[in-house]
Chains A and B, each alone.
Chain A
């Protein structure tokens, strides 16, 4: 499996980690993974909600040293 594309959205208030992820998802191929790093608490909920609505897969979602790591796989 290839390494996930990392979207470093730490300290992002605008355009926001989810916006960054949406943009990154457009650039990768189906089956590829994207990992968002975010310090924004809201993203831990926003990102899974969006993935669910669009139908991409949430691979993992954990917090370490104040940074959320949310990894997703492009499904379509």
Chain B
């Protein structure tokens, strides 16, 4: 019997588990394969929905489903997070004290916002990366009566579009509240343009100019002085704020760091095979890789499909079928009722088109369709 162990029941882990269960249905039913998922929670959260929570458009309970209800029959699921990995011995030990051995392992434990990595950021910024923070941001935005709103972005962060999206959405939100003439929106970005994707940056700059949103590039947060309401940059400049919206830097999970699987919790990953470097039977997907591509759900999704196809072929025929080509697809909300998207891979850059209402509605539809996507039906 071949044992496949999936660590992490978020976007990547769940899509992979369901993909494998479909491909290996016969082997699962007759006991030739055992598919086990270990996760840290019995709930699954649709994280991109947090952005809408911050504007009061979605209530947090709409973002959760029971993890077990999303899994194909035959997948053994335990809420029992991995505490230590022994990749040389093909074994993990869990928080409850159990050990699980495997023939193949896929690690998809995700990443976490670390506002505490920048002095003063945690205490003084509003962000959208946890349920609690998104609710607090909603409170802050809805009680804001005017002044300067600064957006500051740490690196690396989850979902490359969030800094722009949150800015565009605030613009329309304050406009809707009749407050726009009392608000100055000021956007900062770590590199020398408004977004790391050149074409997205050019498009955003035109939109910002049109909407009167001011900006400063090459701005990397160094520390936040909450008393003076100022953010100082590594580059030596300062931005004042009345309301601070932060995109905090991210890290991989502590378990990954504690087990010395990778600096800052990012596991060194082969860009084509998605193997943990040096381990042919271990794979990484989603936010946990150290690949220089977006930490996004769509990345996790495409990677899960590649790992699923390869693992199923390895179980059935002893060899893998294809490489991951770096594919990513990101929606970009450009306000309250317009959106565009960027699609790219390792060799082809994105070419975002002007935003439309249709794409915005498609994004809203995707927010619902997600539950089918994660089940592996889409």
Q: Which residues of A are at the interface with B, using a C-beta cutoff of 8 A? A: 7-20, 22-23, 27, 42, 46, 49-50, 53-54
Whole-angstrom distance between the alpha carbons of A22 and B271 in the complex? 20
Given A14-B196, A14-B197, A18-B196, is A46 in contact with B191 using a C-beta cutoff of 8 Å? yes
B1 interfacial contact with A, CB 8 Å = no
- Between A and B, 25 residue pairs with Cβ closer than 8 Å are A9-B292, A11-B292, A11-B345, A11-B347, A12-B346, A13-B293, A13-B344, A14-B197, A14-B294, A14-B330, A14-B342, A14-B344, A15-B155, A15-B196, A15-B293, A15-B295, A17-B292, A18-B192, A19-B191, A20-B156, A22-B155, A22-B220, A23-B249, A27-B264, A54-B235
Closest A residue by C-beta to B290: A8
* Docked-complex contact A11 and B196, CB < 8 angstroms: no
Q: Are B346 and A50 in contact (CB under 8 A)?
A: no
The interface bits of chain B over 339-355 (1 if a CB of A lies within 8 angstroms of the residue's CB, else 0) are 00010111101100000
With A27-B263, A49-B192 already in contact, the answer to whether A15 and B292 are too (CB < 8 A) is yes
User: Which chain B residues border A19 with CB–CB below 8 Å?
Assistant: 155-156, 190-191, 196
Interface footprint category on B:
20 to 34
Q: For the complex, is B51 an interface residue (Cβ under 8 Å from A)?
A: no
Flag whether B248 is at the interface (Cβ < 8 A): no
Binding site for A on B (CB under 8 A): 155-157, 160, 190-192, 196-198, 218, 220, 234-235, 249, 263-264, 271, 292-295, 326, 328, 330, 342, 344-347, 349-350
A50 touches B349 (CB 8 A): no
Min Cβ gap B159→A in Å is 10
Roughly how many angstroms separate A54 CA and B235 CA in the complex, as a whole number? 5
Residue in A closest to B348 when the chains form the complex, CB atoms: A13
Residues of chain A within 8 A (CB-CB) of B344 are 13-14
Q: Which residues of A contact B157 (CB under 8 A)?
A: 15
- Enumerate chain A residues within 8 angstroms of B155, measured Cβ to Cβ: 15, 19, 22-23
